[in-house]
Structure 1
Amino acid sequence: MRMLKHCLLLIFVLPLVACSPTRNAVDGDGAGYALLTPNAGTRAFMLREDDAFARQVAAHNLQCRNDALCAK
Structure 2
Amino acid sequence: MSKKRLQTLGDVRRYLAGLLNRFEAKEIDEVHLKAAAYVANILTGTIKDSELEERIQRLEEQLKNEGNNGKYRAAS
Tell me the TM-score normalized by structure 1.
0.36
- For CA contacts below 8 A with separation 6 or more, give which structure has more relative contact order: 1
Normalising by structure 2, we get a TM-score of: 0.34
Between Structure 1 and Structure 2, which shows a larger proportion of helix residues? 2
